A and B are shown apart, each in its own frame.
Chain A
Amino acid sequence: MLIYNRTLNIKSFPRNCEVIMRTNTFNLISKAFVLCLLTASAFGQRIDREDSVNNDLRMLVENASRSQQVVWVEDFTGLN
């Protein structure tokens, strides 16, 4: 009897509330997903950028080394 009542109650639950709950849950999940995606994307691009610049410079120096070309960089600097 109790089971029946609960079943009855669920069945009589307003349909619009169920839709609202589903929509809210979807929004929460989608927001979290988008947030994760953006974060990963942003940091991923930052790391890739650093790697890319380093790799470009490394490749140039390596190629220059193979062809025995020499470059002199003078660093006018100071300590603080």
Chain B
Amino acid sequence: MLDEFPGTLISTEWHSPGYTPGDSDFEECYYYDNFGGCYGARGNLFNVGGIPHTEWNGEYDLTGGWANGNWEPAYDYFIGFYNQLIGSETPYDIVINGFKDGLTVNYDITVSMDDDHSSQNQKVEIIVVEDKIMSYWTGASEYHNARNVARYWISTEDLDISSAGESQTFSGSFEIDEEAWNPDSVKIISMVQNYGNYHVHQVQELNVNEFDTDQDGIMNNEDNCLSEYNPEQEDIDGDGMGDACDPCDNANIFVPGNVSGDLWYYDDTSLEPTVLVDVFDVLLLAEIVELADEESCGYEAGDMTGEGDVNIIDVIALASFIMEGAF
């Protein structure tokens, strides 16, 4: 059901160090800088004594286990809790966004309000979890698909807003521990929680590989312009860089040979310009080769041999084409 209705029922597993086998790393969670401190810190909020202990929005809890990992007897309780909670209204909305650069995750978590609510004791918590870790559960003699295992409790921030229409953004960054975590399964979970009664007022989750920095509906790993809103993804020259952020139009301007990008009009009646390729393009291409300036628009236009690499052969080829009157 967690996969079937994502973003509706969000779970987190806090693993007790006392019940974690030596070959498991489930208890390895940083509470700020405190390695292995997550379970104790979180459990203290709810006076967790025995496990398993489930806590529903910090309002309802159930402690106790059933033989062989059979949770079905607990469903009646869960349904009751869930029924109570989904009827509750919240003034908070949480949007998680950011940018992933290699193993560095830069996040922005924005909390907004559509109704007034006191900010007293209201906190925003930011937690990093690793989803879908298969592990063998000896007690039940079966494999357990651990969901959203807490890995890093980054921070607990004061929420200062209290009126409808206000918003507050919490920004930061963290490094993905590539050796310990599966980078494909790392999520950020953020919530608004009251530190007077520990009730959770809103919660949201997002896989760090699903950021949509420019919020154009295209996830970063598929977006041809990461920070420019371009939902249509136009790319006239097909170079993989969207028109909205591509400084080089390789279809109309920086065509092969026109290293400088110069255009000219044939006469006053010409409606469309045409490319101008001359000796200055040869000189500029020679400079690009010397500087190995792969970022310039002329680099791609200077690949006269079509090898995907620009070198002195391309300079000679361009000069030859011009002398032959090929342009």
Contact = CB atoms under 8 A, between A and B. Distances in A.
Interface size class of A (residues with CB under 8 A): 20 to 34
A57 B51 CA distance: 22
A73 B137 contact: no
Interface string B62-102: 00000000001001101100110110100000000000000
Contacts, number: 130
**DSSP class of B's interface residues: helix, strand, loop or mixed?**
mixed
Contacts of B203: 70-72
A80 to B, nearest CB: 5
Interface in A29-80: 50, 53-54, 56-58, 60-65, 67-80
Contact of B144 (A54, A64, A79): A79
A57 to B, nearest CB: 5
B19 interface: yes
A60 B83 contact: yes
22 contacts: A53-B72, A61-B5, A61-B9, A64-B9, A65-B7, A69-B8, A70-B10, A71-B10, A71-B85, A72-B11, A72-B203, A73-B56, A73-B57, A74-B55, A76-B43, A76-B53, A76-B55, A77-B13, A78-B51, A79-B19, A79-B21, A79-B26
Interface of A: 50, 53-54, 56-58, 60-65, 67-80
Interface of B: 1, 4-5, 7-16, 18-21, 24, 26, 39, 42-43, 46, 48, 51-57, 72, 75-76, 78-79, 82-83, 85-86, 88, 135, 137-139, 144, 189, 191, 200, 202-204
